[in-house]
Structure 1
């Protein structure tokens, strides 16, 4: 589990984040240290490991500056299970703690999915062989007891060598196996049996039942009911895909998967709690009203962040070493409006900078997943080449920055508005009026002509995402 983290030094982590996120160096440094600390803890003496708790991080910054993206990319770099939740959704149900615990259950589900995928990859070769055997049985049924049935002798020089039907059948199957592997038979139709899991929907009469109990009952009833096969007529190519996942699932031990997944979630899991400022209650106000509900949500979050045992359908998970990253704009409330106990559980505070015009330009040009590269890829799929001149990128950055300054600052998301308005006409005309092998060059003049009304028109509500 720690081999992958061993290669990720803090500098390497920041370098990886720089491929997708512009600026916010302070936030990147802090999350890089937090991630490296996980490897340091797991490689510390065993008697001290349990005492080393993660330094949870509170990110403070306006929407669209990269808070969520930093956390999500960090999880991808670490190959760690990741869950994002909005703290504000818990206000709808107030004090009900099971909803707060659902983010931990979601994390375990993520971990189970990751481990299952990894295990299936490990047994892929064996699973592919099993799939080939099933397809071969559909194409050329094996002959049972064929060794007793002799075919006509095959002349070999002066000697007659009797060949049984079993050997002939086996040679034929091997020839067909090669054809299956090469894809020659992908279009041929065969009939296969696909397993169907009978998992009925269960409704309970009487008192309320929590999510875990309901899931456990449904899974238990589903396991008790027999798995029935359904015969389907499909091509060999489709059969390979349908059967591969099924056969790989038979080769892995789900108990081992669940155990490994819980360990992965406990030691590497990252939970990103967005909009934490929405549940912060103002200290200047009275004790009634919605603030009571908000404080109740904070107190429900507290034991999860502090470290507690949460029951999931895959087993009990301890949250002591899960890394929690909370984030909020804190336009109205302040971090100090959170209850002191919760504040203490987020000792690292990072303020993210608002994006400048220069940042917008770099966001359009530099990241691996830049919007410009996304649109270029989409048009390339239609056979159309899209090129952005440098001046056009600068003009788009200027317009996005001005609109954010004059209307509402929604950060880098404003670039999606600008890009969509700029290219929507082209996207609509392809491929009917603009055919393959066309060439579109986006210039600064084109950007000014198409988007100048964004700045002139003060009523921009239709353009706000």
Structure 2
């Protein structure tokens, strides 16, 4: 189950994170250790396995420095179910807020989808063969009532002569070859597809929690007969629709649920953002602080380890890795209730981004903004490139605007790049045609962005 982690040492996990996130070495080291400990626990002595609990992590840092990205990339490296929640949303409607157990249900849902997708890939070949026969039957229906060899067609008027049957089979084989070669992709055929469940079905009742609501809705949906409808679609589209349906029929949902629960329990990652928003700034008080402390006390059993009822079964949260994050500009980590503080033993302070960090963020990550814009314009056969001086100037302006207006971290680069390239993106392909080459230079950056910091009146419009 955790074989993919077995091949990754903490140093290799950090190297993988380095491909997408600049700096923050301390945070990367801690999450890499936490991830490797998952595999270590699963391979430890059985007598102590259940007693080894994960060291949850509290990330402290301003917005846009990479807290969420580190957690999300970590889950992707581990092929683990991942869900992100904002702690502040649990206080939106006062003390009660949203059911905190919903984060665990979201994690299980994510896990089920991941396992289901993996199982579908395993049966894809078998499903493809079934789909090919369905498409072939829609194109050339097989002859029913073939005459038995040597059986006189005169004695049974409904029996088809052998030569007609063989002609039909030869035609079907020719069309099968055409389907496999992709020669009939645009040909329209009529297929029967399952209708989706009735939307907007609700269940009303006093004191009903989210899990009960989902279970009742699923039960009612399961009792209703499955309806099908005819659709006229191209063979390419029919293959896509039918492949999904046939693959779903071939997988064992009980096995999927069991594996998904195990995966969520042993490799799931829950990222609780804005944890500082539920920290009470004063130890005693009333009003909002009572609500915040109430949310912390609701979160505590989930983080400590408890059982949560989901529509796929009961899940234990003892070994789920929780990563909490917050800017802590107003509140301090010590303002959290002591019990919750104790459940996040690893504290990591993330560094604010420097001008050099911005430069590296623009140049090195696999998903760098510069590479994203280059890919967008390559779709129009336009070659966009940035020289080093231009990247240095963009980084300098982004850093300056953050210092002058409000520090939103790396997200500032999105605003700067958008303003820099908006005219080019608008002019392609009308004024700037295919095969054009555009080099972004320091002079171009200065010309386009010179007013961003100098003009204080415009600063209110800069996000």
Range into which the TM-score falls when normalised by the shorter chain:
over 0.9
Q: How does 1:317-332 map to 2 (within 5 A)?
A: 317-332=315-330
Q: How does 1:80-159 map to 2 (within 5 A)?
A: 80-96=80-96, 99-148=99-148
Which residue does the alignment assign to 1:155?
none
Cα deviation, 1:267-310, whole Å, max 9, x if unaligned, reads 010000000000000235x4212100000000000000000000
Q: Which moved more, 1:107-116 or 1:445-454?
A: 445-454
How many Å separate the matches in 1 of 2:122 and 2:164? 36
Q: How does 1:271-350 map to 2 (within 5 A)?
A: 271-283=270-282, 286-350=284-348
Which residue does the alignment assign to 1:448?
446
The answer on whether the counterparts of 1:148 and 1:164 sit within 8 Å (CA) in structure 2 is no
Shift of 1:209: 2.1
Q: How does 1:120-269 map to 2 (within 5 A)?
A: 120-148=120-148, 164-199=163-198, 201-269=200-268
Q: What TM-score results when the alignment is normalised by the length of structure 2?
A: 0.95
Shift of 1:147: 4.1
The answer on whether the counterparts of 2:453 and 2:459 sit within 8 Å (CA) in structure 1 is no
Which secondary structure state, in structure 1, belongs to the residue aligned with residue 270 of structure 2? Answer: strand
Cα deviation, 1:378-426, whole Å, max 9, x if unaligned, reads 1111111111111000000011111111211110011111101111111
Which residue does the alignment assign to 1:157?
none
The answer on whether the counterparts of 1:279 and 1:298 sit within 8 Å (CA) in structure 2 is yes
Structure 1 residues 262 and 6: CA distance shift in structure 2, 3 A: same
Cα deviation, 1:331-384, whole Å, max 9, x if unaligned, reads 110000000000000000000000111000000000000000000011111111
Cα deviation, 1:297-335, whole Å, max 9, x if unaligned, reads 000000000000001111111000000000000011000
Q: What TM-score results when the alignment is normalised by the length of structure 1?
A: 0.95
Shift of 1:457: 1.6
Which secondary structure state, in structure 1, belongs to the residue aligned with residue 231 of structure 2? Answer: strand
Which secondary structure state, in structure 1, belongs to the residue aligned with residue 266 of structure 2? Answer: helix
The answer on whether the counterparts of 2:91 and 2:97 sit within 8 Å (CA) in structure 1 is no
How many Å separate the matches in 2 of 1:448 and 1:333? 39
Which residue does the alignment assign to 2:415?
417
Which secondary structure state, in structure 1, belongs to the residue aligned with residue 410 of structure 2? Answer: helix
Structure 1 residues 190 and 447: CA distance shift in structure 2, 3 A: same
Which secondary structure state, in structure 1, belongs to the residue aligned with residue 303 of structure 2? Answer: helix
Cα deviation, 1:226-265, whole Å, max 9, x if unaligned, reads 1111011111111111110000000001111111111100
How many Å separate the matches in 1 of 2:441 and 2:28? 34
Which runs of no fewer than 5 residues in structure 1 stay unpaired?
153-161
Which residue does the alignment assign to 1:382?
380
How many Å separate the matches in 2 of 1:378 and 1:426? 12
Structure 1 residues 119 and 462: CA distance shift in structure 2, 3 A: same
Shift of 1:170: 2.9
Which residue does the alignment assign to 1:34?
34
How many Å separate the matches in 1 of 2:186 and 2:10? 50
Which runs of no fewer than 5 residues in structure 2 stay unpaired?
153-160
How many Å separate the matches in 2 of 1:213 and 1:199? 19
Which residue does the alignment assign to 2:157?
none
Structure 1 residues 356 and 142: CA distance shift in structure 2, 3 A: same
Structure 1 residues 309 and 22: CA distance shift in structure 2, 3 A: same
2:351 to 331, 336, 353: 353
Which secondary structure state, in structure 2, belongs to the residue aligned with residue 405 of structure 1? Answer: helix
The answer on whether the counterparts of 1:275 and 1:328 sit within 8 Å (CA) in structure 2 is yes
Shift of 1:149: 6.8
How many Å separate the matches in 1 of 2:428 and 2:207? 54
How many Å separate the matches in 2 of 1:445 and 1:52? 58
The answer on whether the counterparts of 2:111 and 2:261 sit within 8 Å (CA) in structure 1 is yes
Which secondary structure state, in structure 2, belongs to the residue aligned with residue 148 of structure 1? Answer: coil
The answer on whether the counterparts of 2:402 and 2:408 sit within 8 Å (CA) in structure 1 is yes
Structure 1 residues 206 and 265: CA distance shift in structure 2, 3 A: closer
How many Å separate the matches in 2 of 1:327 and 1:41? 25
Shift of 1:15: 0.6
Structure 1 residues 206 and 80: CA distance shift in structure 2, 3 A: closer
How many Å separate the matches in 1 of 2:242 and 2:18? 40
Shift of 1:460: 4.4
Shift of 1:4: 1.0
The answer on whether the counterparts of 2:89 and 2:97 sit within 8 Å (CA) in structure 1 is no
How many Å separate the matches in 1 of 2:87 and 2:195? 38
User: What is the aligned length?
Assistant: 455
How many Å separate the matches in 2 of 1:344 and 1:417? 39
